[in-house]
A and B are shown apart, each in its own frame.
Chain A
Amino acid sequence: MNIPITPDTAAYSIHELSVLVDLPPRTVRYYVQIGLVDHPEGGTRAAKYGTRHLEQLLLVRKWTASGLSLERIRELLHGEPPPVEARARVAGSVEVCSHLHVSDGIEVVIEPSRAGLSPEQVRRLIRGVMALMKTIRDDEVAADKPGREPQGGAPDQAEG
């Protein structure tokens, strides 16, 4: 198909656009639906796409071909800061971790400096985890005894 490419005023149908970027119309429409490409001008039947859409699609196509996930592409397009990379651990550095023993088989390892938690926040976390574990166990015990209502609902809220 021979589609003339005109400057900013270009108005392509979804079919023409998909031929230009060499992607199935369904994929083009899906990228619009999930916000990787701007919505077209006009309603569904008279939808028209311009060079802006073309450029966005070419960028998304390039990034998917290089292995980026759609979620990551969305973040990049929306200018969200990249997730904080875990700091490389220097050989010889010493880490101090708390091991919270929740129950047999469950242990929570907390390294407050890497997690960026204050001592108060760590205490809240520990109280919350222990309360949740208790709720889960209590539910199970209640369920073991027919006739007793299971204790449902949200876990006890940790204070502080």
Chain B
Amino acid sequence: MQAMKRSDGKLEALVLEAVNVRGVLRGLLFEATVEQRFCNPTTAAIEVMRTFPMPYGAVLLGFEVELGDKRLSGIVVARTEASERYERAVCEGDLAIMLERNHDRSYTVNLGNLAPDERCVVRLRYAQTLVFHERSLRLMIPTVIAPRYGNPIIDGGLAPHQLSEPDMYAEYPFDIEVRLEGELARARVGSPTHPIQVARAARASGATLDEHSVTVSLARQGALDRDFVLVLDELALSSVGIFARDFAQTREVAVLASFCPIAPETAVGALIFKVLVDCSDSMAGDSIDAAKRALARVVQGLAAGDRFAFSRFGTSVTHLTRGLWTTTDASRLSAAQWVNDLRANMGATEMESALASTFALGDTCQADVLLLTDGQIEAIDATIETATRAGQRVFIVGIGTAPAENHLRRLAHATGGACEFIAPGEGVEAAVMRMFHRLRSRRLDNLRVEWPDGRTPVWASPLPECAFDGDTINVFGLFDTAVKGEVRLIAVRNADEGEDVIGCAALNDTLETADAVSRLAAFEWVDALGDSTQARQVAVKYQLVTDSTAVVLIEPRSASEKSAEMPIAYRVPQMMAAGRGGAGSVNAMRASRVERLEFGKRRFMKRSSDPESSRLYLDALDANARYRHDPSAFRPAPLPTGPWSSRQDAARRSLEADPADPRLWSVESGAATLTPLGLATWVSLHSPAEWPASYDALRVIGVPDRVVAWVELELGDPHGQRLPEVRVVREFLEFMKAGEQALATAGALSHFAMVDVYLALRMAADSSDEGERLEKRFFRATGTLRTVTGPHWPPAMSAMRV
């Protein structure tokens, strides 16, 4: 073992060689095969443990192991039995393989007694039903578990061998290919997380192109450091039903009905909601940027009559106010200011106490909570319990490259809320709008299903307590005999109007033979049965890996091959989630290629920069996100050299020709705004007659809100002594114009050596009382004005005195 240790004592060579995913997206179902390749590069027998995430609602349908030229299939048995058989085999020196589902819904694959130089390929097949939001679909395939706050054993309920720590040295290649079939092949496709390539697949015959099949694959090899997200939109959706043969008893059938309730436009009600933002250290970097962009959009979306509160948390929680604010220009401005000042520096992630404190805000008022977080906590069970007790709906925007999807969806569903996810750099507009739509739309209550011909199923999946317009609802039913006709979903839209049919799904005529539908139904059945003997029996009957069952597979060794020693434990570390806690920026990241190098039997990884720059292909990204991903945005052309006049001309041309020049434009609170140099250039470029004459007009040309607020409060109206708006704006713009050369050449107004002289001369020209007061205010502000640099307005311009 000694020879393969790094300086920090960890294994140097790779035990996990690669992970590949092949998936098919068809109608309501996503089915995928995940291939994990392991090898033992050591000279002793090892026991490998790899804990990995699975998508929310994914059900494991198959488990196959390839050992040399042998292919073995595992069977599902009760968990205690699986553990006993596994332990016995490991003690006997045989090869034992077990797959278990953990308390946090991750999975752990255990390879006991992997012999030196032995290779093993583990293939998992899983399926999940898809949930559409309005006309779009987000397929999330998690690949990494990011570090979580809390004790994984006590709070997270994991066994010691199931823990998964990150290792900054770990790198594993990841590849994925997803085939879109049927209607889905016509959708617009993009990935906010990976560069992808999209190809039409030929039919098996190879002669003609199949119009209805599209294959999405990675344009560059990826790594197991972020979720793979595929966004499909412009889908034509309708409610559909599938009936399929039952896996366990072929005389029975399973039905899956999927409804897309689209409600007529209803009167928009005023919102009462409380925003809670995760500002723990794990949100640092890309995540807090995405959260701020989303919140800026939330502030913009506030309408008259809405009442709101803003809070942030880390180790402790801080509320902007103790009560709820009503929407006014002043409250929106303060909220925007607060959002702009958010930093991910509040330490730990004490989500449970922060939620409890937020629920208590506004006293008796019934409000919804909008939570923005990466969800990286262990104590999710206690948090869900607290949230459920409070009786307020929690709507969640999950943020980051590897948010804890299972945790967040469970929390949202348990409280009757909903979840949206945003990858760093992805446009926030659509997600925030969907969230507002849900918050504002009428709730669909008292849901029930009418099965064809008044039939009663042997079992049907429980319905959510309420639903939202535009979000699909999937319902399973198990029947003794074939079912034909229409399944109807009925709900109460309005307490005064009684029941209404909100969805109608016609069942297909032909019986599906694939096992996915009936086993997905059975998985929900087991979930509903809770921790009981019947749940275990159903799980074994349908061969489902649940909390009470596991897959086990034993390969006896010959006497000479048996390991006499206890195998050396090797827990496969996680890669560090990309961009997590500010560990590098995904937004600034360029595509990199992971190369595998082989030296004899040892395999190593090398990451190298790719010569071609990467671009995301998702046209669903908003303008800001596209702008952020434009490589030129990160590599501005050097400022032209030469005499000042030619530099000025170049900057002017750039302002007009290139709205993405980062010297002139930046993104603040989700909107493209002028930098100081940008404003100075704008002012020089336009005649004074065209200049803005009011604070609002300053905003219109692109001066950031916070800077306009600073001008208004510090120069125009300190301590309630208001000066004419036109005059204040004019003086500010004159000042910026005078500073243009200093900003363009030296990059900062601190180099504007004549600042005091300029101000004195400028104000001396006007000896009126008004001119004198303005002069004093400008002089008082010179400390702040001197800190203005070409690309940045100083933080001091955020410090408002209200």
Q: Say yes or no: is A16 at the interface (Cβ < 8 Å to chain B).
A: no
Q: Are A140 and B609 in contact (CB under 8 A)?
A: yes
Minimum-distance CB pairs A-B, first 6? A143-B609, A33-B569, A30-B161, A146-B611, A44-B91, A43-B564
B221 in the interface, Cβ–Cβ < 8 Å? no
B472 at the interface (CB under 8 A from A): no
Digitize B134-161: 1 where CB-to-A-CB distance is under 8 Å, 0 elsewhere: 0000000000000000010110000111
Q: How many residues on B have C-beta within 8 angstroms of the other chain's C-beta atoms?
A: 28
User: Shortest beta-carbon distance, A40 to chain B, in Å?
Assistant: 8
Does chain A have a CB within 8 A of B527?
Answer: no
Write the nearest CB–CB distance from A41 to chain B, whole angstroms: 12
Query: A26-B161, A44-B563 are contacts. A34–B609 as well, Cβ < 8 Å?
Result: no
Is the beta-carbon distance between A26 and B159 smaller than 8 angstroms? Answer: yes
A residues in contact with B608, CB < 8 Å: 143, 150, 152
Given contacts A26-B83, A27-B159, A150-B608, contact A33 B566 (CB under 8 A): yes
Contact across chains for B611 and A45 when beta carbons are under 8 A apart: no
Q: Is the CB of A29 within 8 A of B566?
A: yes
A25-68 toward B: CB 8 Å interface, digit per residue (1/0)?
A: 11101111110000100011101000000000000000011010
Q: With the chains together, A39 CA to B565 CA distance in Å?
A: 10
| Cβ-closest chain A residue relative to B80 | A24
Contact with A along B544-583 (1 / 0, CB 8 A): 0000000000000000000111111100000000000000
A144 within 8 A of B: yes
Interface of A is mostly: helix
The reply to whether B566 and A139 contact each other, CB–CB distance below 8 Å, is no
Query: B residues within 8 A CB of A143?
Result: 608-611
A31 to B160, CA, bound (A): 8
Residues of A within 8 Å of B161, CB to CB, are 26-27, 30
A61-105 interface (Cβ within 8 A of B): 64-65, 67, 69-70
- B181 contacts A by Cβ under 8 Å: no
Q: From A14, A24, A26, A146, name the one whose CB has the most chain B CB atoms within 10 angstroms.
A: A26
- In the complex formed, the residue of B with least CB distance to A139 is B609
- Given A39-B566, A144-B611, verify A45-B83 contact (CB < 8 Å): no
Chain B hits for A24, CB < 8 A: 83, 159
CA distance A116 to B5 in the complex (A): 29
Output the least CB separation between A118 and chain B (Å). Answer: 23
Taking the complex as formed, is B524 at the interface, i.e. its CB lies under 8 A from any CB of chain A?
A: no
Contacts of B159 in A (CB 8 A): 24, 26-27, 30
Q: Answer yes or no: B92 CB below 8 A from chain A CBs.
A: yes
Q: Would you call B471 an interface residue if the criterion is a C-beta within 8 Å of the partner chain's C-beta atoms?
A: no
Residues of B within 8 A of A64 (CB): 153-154, 160
Give every chain B residue within 8 A of A39 (Cβ-Cβ): 566
Does the CB pair A29–B87 fall under 8 Å? yes
Q: Check if B91 sits within 8 Å of A14, measured CB to CB.
A: yes
What are 24 A-B pairs at a CB distance below 8 A? A14-B91, A24-B83, A26-B161, A27-B159, A29-B566, A30-B159, A30-B161, A33-B566, A33-B568, A34-B569, A43-B564, A44-B90, A44-B565, A45-B92, A67-B154, A70-B163, A139-B609, A140-B609, A143-B610, A144-B611, A145-B611, A146-B611, A150-B608, A152-B608
Which residue of A140, A143, A146 has the most chain B CB atoms within 10 A of its CB atom?
A143
Taking the complex as formed, is B350 at the interface, i.e. its CB lies under 8 A from any CB of chain A? Answer: no
B427 at the interface (CB under 8 A from A): no
Query: What is the CB-to-nearest-CB distance from B406 to chain A, in angstroms, rounded to a whole number?
Result: 23
18 additional A-B pairs beyond A26-B87, A64-B160, A146-B611, beta carbons within 8 Å, are A27-B160, A30-B161, A31-B160, A33-B566, A33-B567, A33-B568, A44-B93, A44-B565, A45-B92, A47-B91, A64-B153, A64-B154, A70-B160, A140-B609, A143-B610, A143-B611, A144-B613, A145-B611
CB distance from B195 to the nearest CB of A (A): 16
Interface range on chain A: under 10, 10 to 19, 20 to 34, or 35 or more?
20 to 34
**Residues of A contacting B567 with CB < 8 Å?**
33
Please indicate the chain A residues that have their CB under 8 angstroms from the CB of B609 in the complex: 139-140, 143, 150
Instruction: Flag if A45 contacts B91 (CB, 8 Å).
Output: yes
User: Least Cβ distance of A155 to chain B in Å?
Assistant: 15
Tell me which of B569, B590, B610 contacts A30 (CB under 8 A): B569
- In the complex, the chain B residue whose C-beta lies closest to that of A141 is B609
**Which residues of A sit under 8 angstroms from B566, Cβ to Cβ?**
29, 32-33, 39, 44, 47
CA distance A14 to B641 in the complex (A): 77
Residue ID in chain B nearest A68 by CB atoms: B151
Name A46's closest neighbour in chain B (CB-CB). B91
Give Cα distance in the complex from A31 to B32, angstroms: 35
Task: Look across to chain A and name the residue whose beta carbon is closest to the beta carbon of B93.
Answer: A44
Task: Please indicate the chain B residues that have their CB under 8 angstroms from the CB of A150 in the complex.
Answer: 608-609
Q: Cβ of A43: which chain B residues have Cβ within 8 Å of it? A: 564-565
A45–B562 CA distance with the chains assembled, in angstroms: 11
In the assembled complex, how far is the CB of residue A20 from the closest CB belonging to chain B, in whole angstroms? 16
**Bound CA–CA A47/B566 (angstroms):** 10
Assess whether B93 is in contact with A25, with CB atoms less than 8 Å apart: no
Tell me the complex Cα distance, A139–B592, Å.
12
Question: Measured between C-beta atoms, what is the minimum distance from B636 to chain A in Å?
Answer: 11
Interface string of B90-123 (1 = CB under 8 A from A): 1111000000000000000000000000000000
Cross-chain contact B47 with A33 (CB below 8 angstroms): yes
B86: A residues at CB distance < 8 A: 26
| Distance to closest chain A CB from B89 (angstroms) | 11
A30-B154 in contact (CB<8A): no
Which A residue sits closest to B568, measured CB to CB? A33
B residues in contact with A14, CB < 8 Å: 87, 91
Instruction: Indicate if the CB atoms of A44 and B569 lie closer than 8 Å.
Output: no
Q: B594-632: contact bitstring with A at CB < 8 Å (1 yes, 0 no)?
A: 000000000000001111010000000000000000000
State A30–B563 Cα separation when bound (angstroms): 17
Closest to A142 in B: B609
Q: Nearest chain-B residue to A146 (Cβ)?
A: B611
Tell which of B83, B151, B160, B568 touches A67, judged by Cβ atoms closer than 8 Å: B151
| Residue of B92, B153, B160, B163 most packed against chain A (CB within 10 A) | B160
Using CB atoms, name the residue of chain A closest to B49. Answer: A30
Known: A64-B153, A67-B151, A150-B609. A45 touches B160 (CB 8 A): no
| Cα separation A25 to B566 with both chains bound (whole Å) | 13
Task: Give the chain B neighbours of A31 by CB distance below 8 A.
Answer: 160
Min distance, Cβ B752 to any Cβ of chain A, angstroms: 21
CB contacts (< 8 Å) of A70 on chain B: these are 160, 163
Complex Cα distance, B564 from A26, in Å, reads 18
For the complex formed, measure the closest distance between the CB of B144 and the CB atoms of chain A, giving whole angstroms: 21
How many Å from the CB of B93 to the closest CB on chain A?
A: 6
B786 to chain A, nearest CB (A): 19
Residues of A within 8 A of B590 (CB): 140
Interchain nearest-CB distance for A143 vs B (Å): 4
* Distance, CA A24 to CA B159, complexed state (A): 9
Of A30, A44, A67, which is within 8 A of B564 by CB?
A44
Q: Give Cα distance in the complex from A30 to B159, angstroms.
A: 10
Question: Which A residues lie within 8 Å of B568 (CB)?
Answer: 33
Q: Is the CB of A65 within 8 A of B92?
A: no
Alpha-carbon distance between A144 and B632 when the two chains are bound, in angstroms: 12
Residue in contact with B93 in the complex, picked from A29, A33, A45, CB distance below 8 Å: A45
Q: CA separation between A31 and B153, bound complex, in Å?
A: 14
By CB atoms of chain B within 10 A, which of A39, A67, A69, A144 has the most? A144
CB-nearest residue of chain B relative to A32? Answer: B566
A47 to B565, CA, bound (A): 10
Within the complex, the shortest CB–CB distance from B258 to chain A, in Å, comes to 40
Closest to A34 in B: B569
Task: For residue B208, give the distance in angstroms from its CB to the closest CB of chain A.
Answer: 38
Contacts of A140 in B (CB 8 A): 590, 609
CA distance A25 to B90 in the complex (A): 12
Residue of B nearest to A40 (CB): B566
Nearest opposing residue in chain A for B571, CB measure: A34
Contacts of B91 in A (CB 8 A): 14, 44-45, 47
Is A44 a contact partner of B92 (Cβ separation < 8 A)?
yes
Q: Mark interface residues in A132-160 (1 if CB within 8 Å of B CB, else 0).
A: 00000001100111100010100000000
Q: Quote the shortest CB–CB distance from B113 to chain A (angstroms).
A: 9
**Residues in chain A near residue B611, CB distance under 8 A:** 143-146
What residue of chain A has the Cβ atom nearest to residue B165's Cβ? Answer: A71
